[in-house]
Amino acid sequence: MLVITRRADDATRWDAELVMSFELRSKSRLRTSTTGGEDVGLFLEAGRPLRHGEVLQAEDGRRVRVTAAPEALLQVRCGSEVELCRAAYHLGNRHVHLEVGDGWLRLLDDEVLAQMLRQMGAEVERLASPFQPEHGAYGGGHHHSHGKDAAFQYAPRLHQFANGG
């Protein structure tokens, strides 16, 4: 079995490939197999989903490229930027993973959410495509914390003004 415990620093070369859904790319412990059929055990740090194109380093020195598998998705478009922001707000309020593009949102296919979006006036199209959602402001795992130990991926801008304004 190919044992993988870390992410590679360089993604320019690889020896094998893993094709994985978003759900599988979100797991830190997983038994799967390469496209060539070799068994793989993933033992990675929790809280950071694997990204399409990322390369992992196996214990034996081989490198494995991650490829996002096509999945059943909904693509959402709206008549205006405000309507698209409203759709994103309502999906985010339900903690739905979203991929954000130029004038569209993508989410995993869900009939209840599709109906909600159509009732809001959005155009909803079903498609099969790799899913690459946003990581989120607090670090990108399946869970998040609003506590004092939350790790931001960017410097917060609140409270950085000299005179409080």
HEC sequence for 95-163: CCCCEEECCEEEEECCHHHHHHHHHCCCEEEEEEEECCCCCCCCCCCCCCCCCCCCCCCCCCCCCCCCC
Domains and CATH numbers, the chain: 2-68 (2.60.260.20), 70-130 (3.30.70.790)
* Stated pTM of the model: 0.77
Per the CB < 8 A criterion, the answer to whether 115 and 76 are in contact is: no
- The set of long-range contacts for 110-116, using a CB threshold of 8 Å and a minimum separation of 24, is 110/74, 113/74, 114/74, 116/90
Per the CB < 8 A criterion, the answer to whether 137 and 78 are in contact is: no
Strands 123-130 and 99-101: unpaired
Running along the chain, 165 residues long, what does each successive block of 10 average in pLDDT? 94 95 95 97 92 96 97 98 97 96 97 98 98 74 41 41 44
Tell how far CA 120 is from the center of its chain. 25
* pLDDT of the residue at 3: 97
* pLDDT of the residue at 138: 54
Residue 148 to residues 129, 137, 152, Cα–Cα distance (Å): 37, 14, 11
DSSP-derived letter for residue 51 is: P
* pLDDT of the residue at 146: 41
